[in-house]
Amino acid sequence: MDTKDKYLSQYKAGKKEQYAARCAFFLAGFTITTWAPMIPVIKERLQIDDNILGLLLLCIGVSAFVFMPIAGILNQKLGCKKMLQINIILFALILIIISSLNNIWSLVIFLLLFGSVMGTIDVTMNINSVIVEKLSKKRIMSSMHAFWSVGCFCSAGLFSILAKQGLDITMISIIHGIIIFIFCLIASPYFLTYKGANNEKPIAIPHGIVILFGILACISFLAEGAIMDWSGIFLTETKNLELSLAGIGYAIFSVAMLIIRFIGDRAVQYIGEEQICVFGALISGLGFLLVVLIDNFYLMPIGFICIGLGSANIVPVLYSLLKNQNDMPINAAVTAITCMGYTGVILGPALLGFIAHGIGIKFVFYLLCIFFIIEALLSKYIFKRLN
pLDDT at 190: 92
pLDDT digits (tens, 9 = 90+) for 115-161: 999 988 988 898 888 888 878 877 788 888 889 878 887 898 899 89
Residue 248 has pLDDT above 70, yes or no: yes
Q: Which residues, other chains included, contact 10 with Cβ-Cβ below 8 Å and sequence gap of 6+?
A: none
> What 3-state class would DSSP assign to 312?
coil
Q: CA angle at residue 72 from 226 to 67, to 5 degrees?
A: 45
The DSSP-derived string for 194-225 is: ----TTS-SS----THHHHHHHHHHHHHHHHH
pLDDT digits (tens, 9 = 90+) for 85-96: 999 999 999 999
Q: Which residues, other chains included, contact 150 with Cβ-Cβ below 8 Å and sequence gap of 6+?
A: 26, 29, 258
Rounded CA-CA distance 284/269 in Å is 21
Do 141 and 265 meet the contact criterion of CB atoms below 8 Å apart? yes
pLDDT at 134: 79
Residue 1 has pLDDT above 60, yes or no: no
User: Please, which pLDDT band fits residue 50 given cuts at 50, 70 and 90?
Assistant: confident
Mean pLDDT for the chain overall: 85
Mean pLDDT, residues 77-106: 91
Rounded CA-CA distance 143/21 in Å is 10
